[in-house]
Amino acid sequence: MICRIKHAIVVLFLLGNFSLASAAPPEVTRFTLSNGIQVVSLYVEDSTDVCIFSYLPLGLVADGKAKTQWSHLIEHLVLRTTGPIKNYVERNGQTTHHGMHLDFIGTTDNWKHGLELQAKWLSDSPLSETDLAEELPKALSELDFVTNNLHTGLFAMAAWNQVFRHGETDIAMRGAIESAELNELQAYRNRHLVHADRVLLCVIGGIEPETLQSAMEEQLGEIKLTANTLPSATTPAAEKNRRATWDVNVTHYMETYPIPDPTHENYAAFFVANVLLNQALMMDSELKQLTGSIFCGVDLITPEQTYLYVTTALKPDSDIEKVKQRIGQLINQLKQPENNWQVAMTAPALSQQFSAPMDIEMVMQQHKPAGMTETMLLGNLGLQWGLLEYQHGDTLPEFASALANVSADDVADVVNRYLTEAARMTLVLTPRVSE
């Protein structure tokens, strides 16, 4: 559920006390169930908590034409197939541009119940008209929340998908899900949610890998995975600079640049460049005066292309040309190797971070944010590591190794070659005029 997690992901993990005696990183074990579901186990000795995350391919930049946010609404409905949700700490999920993850947060006493829930979520369980009536207002309320807080970045990606992959010019963020019929949502879920080569579960906590594998095979091994693909682009936009309206009372700006996919030799340099740019964007005093939430990434991946993106909501009456100009200036700074002195520290640190999960006890002692429990850190670590495994698969070790070798010159090289004016695609979303 979008607004709960993107910028405050630890809200999911507000369980009780957590006992952790281990002073070592989680033990990573990977295996595949008989039906093709991939699993990564992060075993934490003496942990009393167990968090189970499933990662699925349907997300905001893969939705079909005029089906804006259908993936988000389906996330709500799928979670409800196991009954009303009284405790969003135990059961929750999120839909983003990465895809979707469905989450169970439990203990070593009830983890098998978590597997039962995941099995039902990944099966063709029927959706309910009652659940649709109850969950639709909740999905809409998340849009209200991010609108009020100028936090519309993820929803803008859903609109971007409609503009650049489907040629739309007036985006119904609310209307598309308000008008969706249950039978259409059920068919859409059955076609696109669970794919044979795109389902991964990450389990972190105190269950030994051998015990976990046996139980997961029993609970999840009989699920039938479809070979169907995600919705195809229909009428891709030919123009690189687009304007569109949407039924959201915020003006939003995005720019995207086509880049090589994560298996390419240059992707590590893009990732480091993105980290430097993200820091510059969020700390820039000029942009703070003009924008709400602003961030960038190199993980906007559609079925056709990978993009580096910058996305930001604009404060009322902000000059959008000043925003564009300042973003361009910050990007251009990366084109000079001498400006990229941080690479020498950033690249090795990223390499280490992506080589193995962090030692939770060390994080608690040295980097624990105020108000964050060990349970919250455990879940956050598992969720983020699972996403890395889902995005990179067997190439994750190679990616981690490549990060260590990125230089200031490498960053300047990819920025100069790919982040050019000719390559830039822009989108300005403005509120639809009331009829």
Q: 362: pLDDT confidence band, cut at 50, 70 and 90? A: confident
Cα separation, 84 vs 238, in Å, equals 45
Integer angstrom CA distances of residue 197 from 30, 35, 39, 283, 400 = 15, 10, 12, 39, 23
Domain annotation covers residue 353: no
Cα separation, 118 vs 254, in Å, equals 35
| Mean of pLDDT values over 393-418 | 97
Domain annotation covers residue 66: yes
Domain annotation covers residue 151: yes
Question: Please, which residues have CB within 8 angstroms of residue 130's CB and are 6 or more apart in sequence?
Answer: none
pLDDT in tens, 249-291: 999 999 999 999 999 999 999 999 999 999 999 999 999 999 9
Domain annotation covers residue 40: yes
Domain count, the chain: 1
Specify the pLDDT at position 369.
66
Q: What is the span of the domain harbouring residue 142?
A: 2-220
Cα separation, 301 vs 161, in Å, equals 11
| Mean of pLDDT values over 108-131 | 95
CATH code, 206? 3.30.830.10
pLDDT higher than 90, residue 339 = yes
Domain annotation covers residue 236: no
* Strand ranges inside 91-248, DSSP E: 91-95, 100-107, 170-171, 200-205, 241-246
pLDDT higher than 90, residue 19 = no
Paired tokens of 9: 């992901």
The label of the residue with tokens 């990366």 reads 334
Domain annotation covers residue 264: no
Domain annotation covers residue 113: yes
Report strand pairing: 49-56 vs 425-431: unpaired
Which of 12-16, 141-145, 302-306, 376-380 is the least confident region? 12-16
Coil, strand or helix: which one is 76?
helix
Paired tokens of 343: 């690479």
Which of 54-63, 116-125, 188-197, 356-365 is the least confident region? 356-365
Specify the pLDDT at position 14.
29
Specify the pLDDT at position 20.
40
pLDDT higher than 50, residue 3 = no
| Mean of pLDDT values over 211-235 | 92
pLDDT in tens, 51-73: 999 999 999 999 999 999 999 99
**Average pLDDT over the chain, rounded to an integer:** 91
Amino acid type, 112: K
Domain annotation covers residue 288: no
Whether 427 and 254 have beta carbons less than 8 Å apart is answered as yes
Between 111-122 and 209-220, two packed helices, what is the crossing angle to 10 degrees?
40
Specify the pLDDT at position 6.
34
H helices present in 165-243, as ranges: 175-178, 182-192, 209-220
Specify the pLDDT at position 376.
79
Specify the pLDDT at position 237.
79
pLDDT higher than 50, residue 344 = yes
Top pLDDT among 53 and 378 is at 53
Specify the pLDDT at position 196.
86
Cα 374 vs. chain centroid, distance in angstroms? 23
Strand order in the sheet with 306-314: 170-171, 241-246, 425-431, 252-259, 306-314, 291-301
Specify the pLDDT at position 433.
80
The 10 Å Cβ neighbour count of residue 266 is 17
Return the percentage of the chain with pLDDT > 70, whole number. 92
Paired tokens of 186: 């059920």
Whether 162 and 168 have beta carbons less than 8 Å apart is answered as yes
Specify the pLDDT at position 179.
97
Cα 314 vs. chain centroid, distance in angstroms? 22
pLDDT higher than 80, residue 333 = yes
Phi, psi of 42 (to 5 degrees): -115, 95
Query: For residues 336-347, b (16+ Cβ closer than 10 Å) or e, as one string?
Result: eeebbeebeebb
Q: 434: pLDDT confidence band, cut at 50, 70 and 90? A: low
Q: 306: pLDDT confidence band, cut at 50, 70 and 90? A: very high
Specify the pLDDT at position 236.
86
pLDDT higher than 80, residue 2 = no
Paired tokens of 257: 């640049």
The label of the residue with tokens 């597997």 reads 115
| Mean of pLDDT values over 163-181 | 97
